[in-house]
Amino acid sequence: MDLGIRGKRALVCASSKGLGRGCAEALAEAGVDLVMNARGAEALEAAAAAIRARHGVSVTAVAADITTEAGRRAVLAAAGSVDILVTNAGGPPPGLWSDWTRDDFIKALDGNMLTPIALMQALLPGMIDRGWGRVVNITSQAVKAPIGVLGLSNSARAGLTGFVAGTARQVAGKGVTINNLLPGVHDTDRAVSLDAGVARAQGLTPAEARTAREATIPAGRYGTAEEFGAACAFLCSQYAGFMVGQNILLDGGAINTTL
């Protein structure tokens, strides 16, 4: 399917691996030129080279921590004006509600709420001036149903979701949509590391921990970065211009809700 965005330019944050990489791949497949970002230069350059070779689009790679002011400055300087913004960063660590300090919360808010907001504030004006834009924020299923051990994530992502709900309606009339994609469990390094933590705590092997978690998902498996990226590319397409301020859950049916 031609998504109608060939030749557009996208900034995909935190995209050398995992879900961000899936989004970068799917946008490149749709003919979108990319600015990719991650902290580790080696994996980032390898991902950029693979995408250039596979899809023939232009890819600029910027190794920087997107959750810092300096990192965002470097990424935004390289990006210039973009038509599509995909926000993403690593998730906060698991833990217990009673242990988190003010500093822990500030770090989580910086990474998963204030960073995407700062990127939107920087790039929405250009999209509005040009009369077309797409923003997709990678958040979490924790927005719909809290995950006890990920209280830092529950908190920060709820804040971002509130900001998007209000802002999406203010920019929709200018041809710019903002939506959130809510991953359930996906087969990425993050999921593997969370499984390893559960395995240690419960005296299981990582494979046993994974099997137990898969049994809680009606689809009976983890999602893939490819599936996730395809959903992101659709939200960025010409056909998704009437989708405004939505929170799209990709979780294999894991969260048991009617709406």
| Residue 146 backbone dihedrals phi, psi, to 5 degrees | -60, 145
- 37 lies in the site for ligand NAP, by CB under 6 A: yes
| Sign, Cα dihedral of 235, 167, 36, 105 | negative
Place of tokens 């979108």: 32
- How many CA atoms are closer than 13 Å to the CA of 1, on its beta-carbon side? 10
- Count the neighbouring beta carbons within 10 Å of the beta carbon of residue 118: 17
* Residue given tokens 């149903």 in the structure block: 145
Considering only residues 61-80, where is the footprint of ligand NAP by CB under 6 A?
A: 65-67
| Residue carrying the six token digits 């137990």 | 212
Among 83, 188, 235, 250, binds ligand NAP (CB under 6 A): 188
- Element housing 62 (H / E): strand 59-63
**Is position 20 an interface residue for ligand NAP (rule: CB under 6 A)?**
yes
What is the rounded distance in angstroms from the CA atom of residue 196 to the CA atom of residue 240?
38
Q: Judge contact between 152 and 95, C-beta under 8 A.
A: yes
Given a contact cutoff of 8 angstroms between Cβ atoms, the answer to whether 50 and 219 are in contact is no
CB of 218 to ligand NAP, least distance (A): 16
Contact code string over 124-163 relative to ligand NAP, x by CB under 6 A: --------------x-xx----------------------
Cβ distance to ligand NAP smaller for residue 17 or 144: 17
Size of the site for ligand NAP (CB under 6 A): 29
Among 9, 12, 18, 161, the residue binding ligand NAP under the rule CB under 6 A is 18
- Residue 226 within binding range of ligand NAP, rule CB under 6 A: no
**Taking CB under 6 A as the rule, does residue 185 contact ligand NAP?**
yes
- Name the token pair of 211: 């099997």
Q: What's the closest the beta carbon of residue 132 comes to ligand NAP, in angstroms?
A: 26
Candidates 116, 133, 183, 229; binder of ligand NAP (CB under 6 A) is: 183
- Residue with smaller CB distance to ligand NAP, 140 or 167: 140
Binding stretches for ligand NAP (CB under 6 A): 14-20, 37-40, 43, 65-67, 88-91, 138, 140-141, 183, 185-186, 188-191
